Amino acid sequence: MNTAIPVLAAQNLVVEYRQHRAVDNLNLQIPQGCVYALLGGNGAGKSTTISTFLTFNRPSSGQVLIEGESPHTNAELVRAKLAYLPENVALYDVMSGLENLTYFCTLANIRLSSDQAHDLLLDSGLQADAHQKRVAAYSKGMRQKVGLAIASAKQAKAMLLDEPTSGLDPSAANDFAQRIRAAADRGMAVLMATHDLFNAKQVADRIGIMKNGRLLEEFDAHTVQHDELEQKYLAHARGLA
C-alpha cells in the first residue's frame, strides 16, 4: 500500500443545498492509522462532509477522494473501503443484533459463519446474552457496538463516524473511544465528526475546527494543550477569532 496517498482526502470541496453552502472549500487529508476529528457546533458542515464521502451528497465543486479515487465516479469504492457509523446506528428493530449484523454483511457480500458473527459482536463489546435479543430493546451504546461489528466485518480502510459518542454515558463513551483508537492502531483511517472537545482530544490524532462550512484551524491533538484548544474552540464558536 502506498502510504503517500491519504486514505481520505477532500480537495477544495464545496457542497451546497440549493443556495446554501454547507461545506465551503474544504481541504483535508487523513492517512492510514490517523483519527481526524472534525470539531464544530451544529450546522458547521461536519455531517455534510461525511455524507459526501459516502456519496449521499454530490460535491458542487472540488472532490472527495478515497485512496486517490473519487467515489462519485466509482461507486464501488464506498462499499469496498468505507465503514459508516452515524450518531444513531440505524438497525432493524424487529431483528436481533446478530441478525442485523448478518443481514448487513450479506448485503455487502461478506459471508459470516454464525461463530464469526458472534465473535465480531463480542469483539465489539456486545455481551453474548444480547446477541439474540431484538434490537428494539438495545441501548444506544449497544447499537453502536453492532455498528462497530459491521464496520470491522467490512475490513474497511476508513471509518466515518458522525457524533459517535453523543448520548453515550461516560463509561460507554470511553469504551467506544478505546475501540476506535484500537481500530486506528491497526491501520484504519478515521474521520470523526464531533462537537465534543473532550472526546476529540481523547481519541484524535488531528483536530480541525469547522464553522460555517469552513475549516478554520487544525491542531495536532497530541501536542495541543486542552486549555488552548478549548479557548480557540469557544472563540471560534462565538465568532471572536
Partner 1 sequence: MIKTIIRKEFLATLRDGRLLTLGVALLVLFAGFFLASAYELQQLRAEKHSVGTTAKEQWNTQSVKNPHAAAHYGIYVFKQDTPVAALDPGLRPYIGQALWLEPHKRNLTRFSPAADQVLAGRFGQATTSFVLTALLPLLIVALTFNSISQERESGTLRMLHSLGVDAGQLLFGKLLGLMTAFSVVLAPALLLAAVILLGNFAFTLDDVLRLLALLVLLNLYYGIFAALAISASASFNTSRTTLFCLLGFWLASVFIAPRLGVVGAEILAPNPSASEFWREIKEDIDHGLEHDGDHEERAKAFEAQVLAQYGVSRKEDLPVGFVSLNRQYNDAYSVKVHALHFDALRDNFVRQQHLSHLGSWLGPSLALRSLSMTLAGMDLAHQRHFEDAAEEYRHYFINLTEDWDRERSRGTERKATGAEADWRSVADFSYQAPDIGFALRTAKLDFLVLLLWLGLSIGLLRISARRLVP
Ligand X SMILES: Nc1ncnc2c1ncn2[C@@H]1O[C@H](COP(=O)(O)OP(=O)(O)O)[C@@H](O)[C@H]1O
Q: Which residues here bind partner 1, judged by CB under 8 A?
A: 54-56, 75-76, 78-80, 82-84, 86, 88-92, 94-95, 103-104, 106-109, 154
Which residues, in sequence order, are CB contacts of 224 under 8 Å at separation 6+? 201, 207
In the complex, the smallest distance separating the C-beta of residue 94 from ligand X, rounded to whole angstroms, is 28
In the complex, the smallest distance separating the C-beta of residue 93 from partner 1, rounded to whole angstroms, is 8
Q: Is 17 in the site for ligand X (CB under 6 A)?
A: yes
The pairing of beta strand 206-211 with beta strand 35-39: parallel
Q: Is 57 in the site for Mg ion (CB under 5 A)?
A: no
Size, binding site for Mg ion by CB under 5 A:
1
Q: Is 47 in the site for Mg ion (CB under 5 A)?
A: yes
Distance, in Å, from the CA atom of 241 to the CA atom of 239, rounded to the nearest integer, reads 6
In the complex, the smallest distance separating the C-beta of residue 60 from ligand X, rounded to whole angstroms, is 12
Task: Report yes or no: 30 and 81 within 8 Å, Cβ to Cβ.
Answer: no
Task: Report yes or no: 89 and 101 within 8 Å, Cβ to Cβ.
Answer: no
Q: What is the DSSP letter of 202?
A: H
Q: What is the DSSP letter of 137?
A: G
Q: Is 32 in the site for ligand X (CB under 6 A)?
A: no
In the complex, the smallest distance separating the C-beta of residue 134 from partner 1, rounded to whole angstroms, is 8
In the complex, the smallest distance separating the C-beta of residue 52 from ligand X, rounded to whole angstroms, is 9
Binding mask 130-159 for Mg ion (x = CB under 5 A): ------------------------------
Q: Is 22 in the site for ligand X (CB under 6 A)?
A: yes
Q: Which does 91 bind (CB under 5 to 8 A by kind): partner 1, Mg ion, ligand X, none?
A: partner 1
Task: Report yes or no: 16 and 182 within 8 Å, Cβ to Cβ.
Answer: no
Distance, in Å, from the CA atom of 124 to the CA atom of 118, rounded to the nearest integer, reads 10
> Which lies closer to Mg ion via its Cβ, residue 47 or residue 144?
47
φ, ψ (nearest 5 deg) of residue 239? 80, 25
Q: Which does 3 bind (CB under 5 to 8 A by kind): partner 1, Mg ion, ligand X, none?
A: none
Q: Where are the alpha helices (DSSP H) in 1-133?
A: 46-53, 76-81, 97-107, 114-123
Task: By CB under 5 A, name the binding residues for Mg ion.
Answer: 47
